[in-house]
Structure 1
Amino acid sequence: MKTKMQLNHSQNKFSNKKFPVSLVLDHISGEANIGSIFRLSDAFHVEEIIFCGIEPNLSSNRLKKTSRSTHEYVNFQFSENSSTIIKQKKAEGYKIIALEITQNSIPLPQLQLKHSEKVVLVAGHENFGISEEVLNLCDHIVHIPMFGNNSSMNVAQAIGISLYEITKCLIP
């Protein structure tokens, strides 16, 4: 019986496609979450992460361990104000998508995007979510359908699921 050998980084057959996707993180503060989001951003080759309201502590050992060094080369910036960034990205032609469960959010799989569309995915604070002001600026509000008793999931996991769904839409 042949054994299945795990491939290392240089042996994988993944394409090096960059997606026109940026992340806006509205007051996300958990260092493990931020490290995971850096790693996910690398995996889905997003354009950039924009931290808003709370600047990440890049010297945190927890962030460094979770990011597996991706924080050293994934593009990112910091802005005090999420609304300003959202307005700027809208003016640049980006579709703004908030990841939040609201009364009028749609299930993520129902989101329809064009292959050439530029996207900003907005995610909010671990306990408080996305501010009402920012939600009101978004083109779409999506949620991940869940089937258990809990009404939320970890922000980094939710971003990973969302990036997977969004990038599937953007691949021609």
Structure 2
Amino acid sequence: MQIANQKMSIGLINPKNPVNVASILRAAGCYGVASVFYTGQRYRFAKDFNADTKAFHKVIPTIGVDDLKEVVPEGASVVAVELVEGATPLPLFEHPSNAFYLLGPEDGSIGEDVLSWCDHVVYVPTFSCMNLAATANVLLYDRLSKSDYVSGDALIRQSRDTNNKSKIK
């Protein structure tokens, strides 16, 4: 599923937790992300897709790279998601139709060297920092909620778990 006339990819900066990456891959599959790139060695050494129960890692390219700046998709606006002074609150942000979302490591922040080449920097206005996978889910849901998305019973039947046959009468 892809949101009509929109493209998006995700870049992860040195993720450490394979469960978080697997959860991001599941979200990527749910929201129509085209590809996921990541830097660093920690995830490469700990690949385990046990939280990606829908096996989206088999259909969404998940590519280790040395530098995310080198793999920005053609025509994409780079959007960093970080709790940093001067960032735009996510509820006020208008998502570009072609976006490359950057998320920092679980135990650190996106550095100023990376922020300097981003087109936008947004943050989720919370009372504490969120888990990496939760942040990705909130970001992708926010994008969907502000888009011209498909809705209705046909989508529900296509998207739900095979054990769910419930209906509202």
Same fold (TM over 0.5): yes
Residues 112-132 of structure 1 show CA distances to partners (whole Å, capped at 9, x for unaligned) of: 235xx2001100111112122
Residue among 73, 81, 102 paired with 2:59: 73
Unmatched tracts of structure 2, length 5 or more: 150-169
State the match for 2:10 in structure 1: 23
What TM-score, normalized by structure 2, do the two folds share?
0.77
- The amino acid of 1:155's aligned partner reads L
State the match for 1:158 in structure 2: 135
Residue among 23, 42, 47 paired with 1:36: 23
Residues 23-73 of structure 1 show CA distances to partners (whole Å, capped at 9, x for unaligned) of: 01111121110110111111111010011223744874xx32201122222
The 8 Å contact of residues 44 and 64 in structure 2, kept in 1 or not, is answered as: no
Counterpart check, 1:168 vs 2:150: no
Counterpart check, 1:142 vs 2:110: no
Give the distance between the partners of 2:68 and 2:144, measured in 1 at CA. 23
The 8 Å contact of residues 54 and 80 in structure 1, kept in 2 or not, is answered as: no
SS in structure 1 opposite 2:106? coil
Counterpart check, 1:118 vs 2:77: no
CA separation of 1:17 and 1:84: change in aligned 2, threshold 3 A: closer
The 8 Å contact of residues 58 and 64 in structure 1, kept in 2 or not, is answered as: no
State the match for 1:98 in structure 2: 80
Residue among 17, 35, 40 paired with 1:48: 35
What TM-score, normalized by structure 1, do the two folds share?
0.76
Q: CA RMSD in A?
A: 2.0
Unmatched tracts of structure 1, length 5 or more: 1-15
Identity %: 22
Residue among 68, 71, 78 paired with 1:82: 68
Residues 11-34 of structure 1 show CA distances to partners (whole Å, capped at 9, x for unaligned) of: xxxxx3354010011111211101
The 8 Å contact of residues 2 and 33 in structure 2, kept in 1 or not, is answered as: no
